[in-house]
A and B are shown apart, each in its own frame.
Chain A
Amino acid sequence: MYKFRELKKAAKQETEGKEYRLAVLGNCATQFLSQCIAGFSHLEGMNLKVFDADYNQIDAQLLDPDSETYAFDPDYILLYLASDKLYEEFMGLEMKERTAFAEDIMSKLSAYWDMTEARSKARILQMGFTEIDDRAFGNYGLKISESFSYQMKKLNWLLSDAMSKRKGVYPVDLLSVQLSLGRERFYDPVLYYNAKVNVALESWGYVAEQVFHVISSLQGKVKKCVILDLDNTLWGGVIGDDGLSGIEIGELGRGHVFTNLQLWLKSLKLRGILLAVCSKNDEDNAKLPFLEHEEMVLRLSDFAVFYANWEDKATNIRRIQESLNIGMDSMVFIDDNPFERELVKNMIPDITVPELPEDPALYLSYLQSLNLFETASYSKEDSDRTGMYQAEAKRRESEARFASLDDYLQSLEMEGAAAPFDELHYPRIAQLTQRSNQFNLRTVRYTEDEIARIAEDKDYITLYYTLKDKFGDHGLVSVVILKKISETEVFVDTWLMSCRVLKRGMEEYIINRMVSEAASFGIKTIKAEYIPTAKNKMVEHIYESMGFDTIGDGLYSLDIESFSKLKTYIS
């Protein structure tokens, strides 16, 4: 972890790139926290400006529509009620009032959220509560509703419950920081009593790190795939030498270690992270344990891609990346062999390569401590993502059998559909705006809440697109938001598409439907814009190729009356 000194220094440094703004509001002294978040972000290459509200100004800042917080126009507002301060409030209460403490604090928080949402478009980052056991009841306090530890546990639960119903609120799990550091390192009484700073200076970096993770995930910087080595990574031993009965998994030797690692990977897969294999092995040998070993947790069907051969790993990882069509920076490579890790890191600088500890017993807790899989959304479709990529692999196989691309596309029997945004699909639509980087014309990120507002706003025409073919259902693959700029003109505020369905006529289908939908609203002209980012070069010329006229630098226009339908095999 960065030293406090380094973070403090980096807070002042200028960073390039798109600017994001965070306002920090707390019931305690937050200047150090703000400095550390700014410093941490700058050191990680994010241009984050941080506004620190004065000590204990939450009510004043949130209530007043002209407050400094709102004037700062933040993208994020961090709300932080420190338990140390709450504890002092709690101690001032009569015994009979103490049983309602958690509920009172929770309703105060909900009111903060309401105020924020009414006056600002910022996403709310809600700091969780650390626990303080004052031992006033000893262990018995856990079952006494008048005790502070009882009320704080209840408060954390109430908070989770309330957040699960609030789309615009994102948790920062402060308690887990305290748990991993330990109360002794986390809290410095001298500092607290001197300056009302409730976290030790050298521990703020860890808190800032979590805030940074949440903000990054809101910007779509998330991991989507884990690439795994096999021998001595997913099981103990070498399948080629030790054979099916000799590898450690389940009951044998250190098998428990690998079983639990696989269980964790399985739950990553179930929440939508793709798993892939990259192993130096004969393919048949490599697949054998997944097919035949009874104690193996992961099965072949859990992997989106499987590469076992004797070529170098960087080459295989590039193949995996091509077949999944996701950014290198969204992939994690896990391998026990330091040589392979070095090679991959050198050849592919963008990929994340954890420095696994030598002892496999430490793999899992180490990987978990890195918090690589932060996310800002979760939808039902996530759990089926692996299946979609497997269907894609089948499509590729079949593609090879056709002489022409047209023949192949025709053979897919593709069916598309388009519909205005509906409530059921708000989560997935918001998620796509947050995660899509490559096929995304303007890269505007929306929360579920904002999507709901747009869907209900008459000034917008919204469309989400689905696609299926004979191999399977791609689900929701594209999002279009048209904003009315006059009676007869719309502007394409958002057009994004999942790269899984690239170059099979979906682009044309989307434009055809976009035009017919706009026409039905009496629209004559569609204006559009391409805003370049580090990642969306692939769509630089898409509007030209779809028949739009260039009217400026990155600006396009389409006249609906002279538009002729684009050719596509999607019906």
Chain B
Amino acid sequence: MGYEEVMEKVTEIAREIFEDEELVLKDETVAADVDGWDSLTHLALMNEIENEFEIKFQMKEVQGIKNVGELVRVIVERIS
């Protein structure tokens, strides 16, 4: 699965978690840009991504990923 495809899946999940059908994620998107992306929904998002891609994030990834682009890169790396 390539970068574009992962980004698409992540967007789909994020739309559901943040309950915004029109949400668009870009590489440089950060939590503060998205309505409802707080520490709790962040955990729910990570959980959904883990379920979807059948991976497990490390603690520093859950805490330290800077933006959506980095998140997608970590996922792509994990599943390849």
Contact = CB atoms under 8 A, between A and B. Distances in A.
Nearest to B17: A5
Contacts of A32: 40, 43
A195 B47 contact: no
A190 B58 contact: yes
Contacts of B40: 31-32, 195
A194 B16 contact: no
B80 interface: no
A423 B63 CA distance: 57
Interface in A1-15: 3-5, 8
B59 A202 contact: no
Contacts of A3: 51
Interface in B1-60: 16-17, 39-40, 43-44, 47-48, 51, 56-59
B47 A202 contact: yes
A201 interface: yes
A405 interface: no
A5 B43 contact: no
Contacts of A197: 43
Interface residues of A, number: 14
A193 B59 CA distance: 8
Given A4-B44, A5-B16, A201-B43, A194 B51 contact: no
A201 B47 contact: yes
B79 interface: no
Contacts of A419: none
B65 interface: no
Contacts of A4: 44, 47
A191 interface: yes
Nearest to A201: B47
B44 A190 contact: no
Nearest to B48: A5
A170 to B, nearest CB: 28
A542 B40 CA distance: 53
B51 A202 contact: yes
9 contacts: A4-B44, A5-B17, A32-B43, A190-B56, A194-B43, A201-B43, A201-B47, A202-B47, A202-B51
Interface of A: 3-5, 8, 31-32, 190-191, 193-195, 197, 201-202
Interface of B: 16-17, 39-40, 43-44, 47-48, 51, 56-59, 62-63
